[in-house]
Amino acid sequence: YPVTGTPLPTTQTIASNSGYPPIVLALMFNELRSNTFKRIAQSISYLPHFMSIVIVAGMVIQLTSLNGTINQVIGVFGGDAVPFMQLPEWFRTVYVTSEVWQTVGWGTILYLAALTTIDPQLYEAARIDGANRWQQMWHVTIPGLLPTMVVLLVLNVGTFMAVGFEKVLLLYSPLTYATADIIATYVYRVGITSSNFSYATAIGLFEAIIGLILILSANYAARRMTGTSLW
């Protein structure tokens, strides 16, 4: 019996260490010239990471409820209230958006650390050659981040099939099973709720094997294409 709906792209993978949003945010932080503003912006972006999943899920439910802030804004512009958490087609958008907000700041830490290892003389040489800020970022900063990006991507490839179980469990309902249900929640319902432990164990083992194959394949591809790998 298959899982109802396609597993969500894991935003712990998309929005954290190896995803595009942390890279973009780290590059934006790197371009700031005011150290005070940079520190304040970084601190604000880190805060959601330390919030409990239960608190984040409660905020999401409150914001997207019929009387929530989002629907109040829609009402100001003359629109009708949308029951976001009751419509399957809206669940992925709400989930991914909330996960990006919660994890993007924390995901920039490793990239900001990698930026400090780039030799400042490379930027100076680029400026002497007439490179503008955009060209310096494209030809100096991003190549300097590439080894870190590859390593983090390989580390996260193995978790592509594993989504944040707790948040999905707190947010979804039978109305949104069609798009919200993932392997972890399906295993929970089959194994714990229905007491079908052998079937749930088989599903979990299958997921682990697929994750192992993915990480071995990603490491091999990274070593062949970029020369950077975990082993």
From CA 56, how far away is CA 102, in angstroms rounded? Answer: 8
| Ramachandran region, residue 34 (left: φ > 0; alpha: ψ -120 to 50; beta: rest) | beta
- What is the 8-class DSSP label of residue 101? H
CB contact set of 189 (below 8 Å; sequence gap of 6+): none
Map out the domains of the chain with their CATH numbers: 7-226 (1.10.3720.10)
| Listed residue (26, 1, 10) closest to 148, CA to CA | 26
| CA pair distance 100, 103, nearest whole angstrom | 5
Cβ atoms 99, 12 nearer than 8 A: yes
Q: How far apart are CA 109 and CA 132, in angstroms?
A: 26
- For each of the chain's 231 residues, which pLDDT tens digit applies? 334 444 444 434 333 444 688 999 999 998 888 889 999 999 999 999 999 999 999 999 999 999 999 999 999 999 899 999 999 999 999 999 999 999 899 889 989 999 988 998 999 999 998 999 889 999 999 999 988 888 888 878 877 777 778 899 899 988 998 888 888 888 888 888 888 888 888 888 888 888 888 888 888 888 887 777 777
Query: Is 164 in contact with 13 (CB distance < 8 Å)?
Result: no
Of 156, 155, 121, 113, which Cα lies nearest the Cα of 140?
121
